[in-house]
Amino acid sequence: MIGGGVEVPFAAGGTDHVFTASVFFADTTFLSESAFTNRGRLRESDGGAANTESAESVSLTLDGTIPNTELGYHLGARFLSGGEGDPENDTGMVAALTRTWELGNNQAVEAIGEVAYLVNQNGQDGDGVYGTLGAT
């Protein structure tokens, strides 16, 4: 992707938060090729979500810690403008919670739970719901 964004940190409720906004489009330069496997260069005529040759796609996120808890959060929304031949635009939303437990001796366990909902996934007529649970 090619684009740019802005990040705005702020404090609210006694904790720190970060709001991020980005605009972008799919990379169709020579850099869209792979360094190790020749998958070919992306062209605007290939279509696909965000493949529009101009910054028509948007991502908004909010990250931080829920006040008076030990839970971190991530909220996000994206809009990927449909490319050439795509019947729809791709819209998605995500929500996640994280929690870290310190174990001592510079060791910790971090858990994450996330749900994502995609409308017209990949610019096609079809929605998707994804759930993720993980730990490190």
Q: Which domain holds residue 82?
A: 2-135
Number of structural domains (the chain) is 1
Contact residues for 1 (Cβ-Cβ < 8 A; gap 6+):
24, 25, 26, 27, 50, 57
Q: What is the mean pLDDT of the chain?
A: 88
CA–CA dist 121, 112 (Å, integer): 23
Better-predicted residue by pLDDT, 83 or 68: 68
- pLDDT of the residue at 47: 65
**Residue 3: its H or E element:** strand 2-12
- DSSP E strands in the chain: the ranges are 2-12, 15-25, 57-65, 71-80, 90-104, 107-119, 128-135
What is the mean predicted confidence (pLDDT) over 52-74?
A: 92
**Does the pLDDT at position 68 exceed 70?**
yes
Question: Does 123 score more than 70 pLDDT?
Answer: no
How large is the average pLDDT for residues 51-59? Answer: 84
- Residue 55 or 36, more confident: 55
CB 116 within 8 Å of CB 93? yes
Alpha carbon distance 108, 72 (integer Å): 15
Residue pLDDT, tens place only, 5-54:
999 999 999 999 999 999 998 887 877 777 777 777 777 776 677 778 77
| Cα–Cα nearest to 97, from 133, 52, 60, 54 | 133
pTM summary value: 0.80
